[in-house]
Amino acid sequence: MPRQNSKSQPKSIALALLAGALILTLTGCANGADAPTRMIKQVTDGVEGVSGDIKAANVLLVAQADGSAVLVATVVNNSKSTDSILSITANGINGITAPIELRPVAPAIFAGDSANQSANFPALGLAASAHATIEITFANAAPIKLNALVRAQDGIYANTNK
């Protein structure tokens, strides 16, 4: 029986270890808790914004046949004191007629089956897939400014009317 070269055995082990190390380093995701893909929160077409203890979630507009648009959003006040939404504008057009009280942990829901508020933007004139600058101003908190998508009035937004 032929005898193996004893010099090739350490080389084989070194190559196997090197290959293993390369596999782990080239295929591993080592960004940890701050990985950009781990920080993604947006799971809908809507955008989110925060001002202190107030959070605006799933903010988007639904285009209407007459050129107006309807706001879809949820605004939650997580503080212990009441605040108010003074205005909601889309490209400078105001969508509410009076201030909206934001009580602690009582969401203002714009559009949908559980809506308790509404905001309509007449003559906005934006087609689906366009974007609008939404600005929400408050009595006490700093304004929230967002770049929101305009959706067509179809699919889950088919019944979103003024």
pLDDT per residue as tens digits for the range 31-65: 666 666 666 555 567 899 999 999 999 999 999 99
Q: What ranges do the domains of the chain cover? A: 8-38, 47-157
Residues, the chain: 162
- Whether the per-residue pLDDT at 21 is higher than 70: the answer is yes
Q: Is the pLDDT of residue 95 over 90?
A: yes
Residues in Cβ contact with 137 at an 8 Å cutoff, skipping those fewer than 6 apart: 85, 86, 87, 88, 143
89: left (phi over 0), alpha (psi -120 to 50) or beta: beta
Domain 47-157, CATH homologous superfamily name and number: PCu(A)C copper chaperone (2.60.40.1890)
Whether residue 120 has pLDDT greater than 70: yes
* Strand 144-151 to 93-94 pairing: unpaired
Please tell me the distance from the alpha carbon of residue 58 to that of residue 49, in angstroms, as a whole number. Answer: 9
In the predicted model, is pLDDT for residue 77 greater than 60? Answer: yes
